């Protein structure tokens, strides 16, 4: 619970700080949507596997420095090394996204927020007793803006699931409206 309070305070500080940038940076604002494909990884207790993962996301870019993003991730099927059932997981998330432009077309970003995860079965070996829950998620990425409407992103994210971590590396496409 303490971890969630720290994340709430951090996100609040980012939100209020981004409002200060809003008066100076009004370009690049509006709604966007996208999809991604990549690899999900788990290395916890009896799980050490990877599988193809898919995601869809959408958000609102308030200015070139700050946006909010919501999305859904399907982590695929992660197999157990030993005793235990295979793991199928998915997550719905909401994150604050802070961007730093390096050039007119190339930028880096970091995001942090909360996610609602759903497992087909609890991971008893890691202490996960529930098959659903809410935990933090965070990630970093780079983006190249090919046109005003189309961008390509590379992203690495971590999704905490109680005492376990699911990692995700993806290539994503983003369309700005």
Domains of the chain: residue spans and CATH: 2-176 (2.40.160.20)
Per-residue exposure over 17-41, b if at least 16 CB sit within 10 Å of its own CB, e if not: ebeeeeeeeeebeeebebebebebb
pLDDT at 76: 84
pLDDT in tens, the chain (177 residues): 555 555 555 555 554 554 444 434 445 689 999 999 999 887 776 666 678 999 999 999 999 899 999 999 998 877 766 666 667 889 999 999 999 999 999 999 999 999 999 887 666 555 556 678 899 999 999 999 999 999 999 999 999 887 778 899 999 999 999
Question: What pLDDT does 22 receive?
Answer: 40
Rounded Cα gap, residues 117 and 84, in angstroms = 19
Confidence at residue 58, expressed as pLDDT on a 0 to 100 scale = 97
Which residue shows structure tokens 């780079």? 142
Burial of 79 (0-12, 13-18, 19+ CB in 10 A): middle
Strand spans (E) along 79-131? 87-101, 106-119
């Amino acid at each position: 619970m303490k971890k969630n309070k720290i994340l709430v305070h951090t996100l609040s500080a980012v939100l209020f700080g981004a409002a200060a940038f809003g008066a100076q940076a009004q370009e690049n604002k509006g709604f966007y949507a996208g999809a991604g494909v990549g690899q999900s990884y788990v290395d916890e207790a009896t799980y050490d596997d990877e599988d193809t993962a898919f995601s869809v996301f959408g958000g609102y870019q308030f200015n070139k420095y700050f946006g909010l993003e919501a999305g859904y991730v399907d982590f695929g099927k992660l197999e157990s090394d030993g005793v235990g059932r295979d793991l199928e997981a998915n997550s719905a998330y909401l994150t604050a996204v802070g961007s730093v432009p390096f050039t007119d077309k190339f930028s880096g970003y970091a995001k942090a927020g909360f996610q609602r995860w759903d497992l087909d079965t609890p991971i008893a070996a890691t202490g996960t007793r529930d098959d659903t829950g809410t935990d933090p998620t965070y990630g970093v990425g780079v983006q190249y803006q090919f046109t005003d409407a189309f961008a390509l992103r590379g992203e690495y994210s971590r999704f905490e699931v109680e005492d376990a971590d699911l990692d995700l590396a993806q290539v994503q496409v983003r369309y700005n409206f």
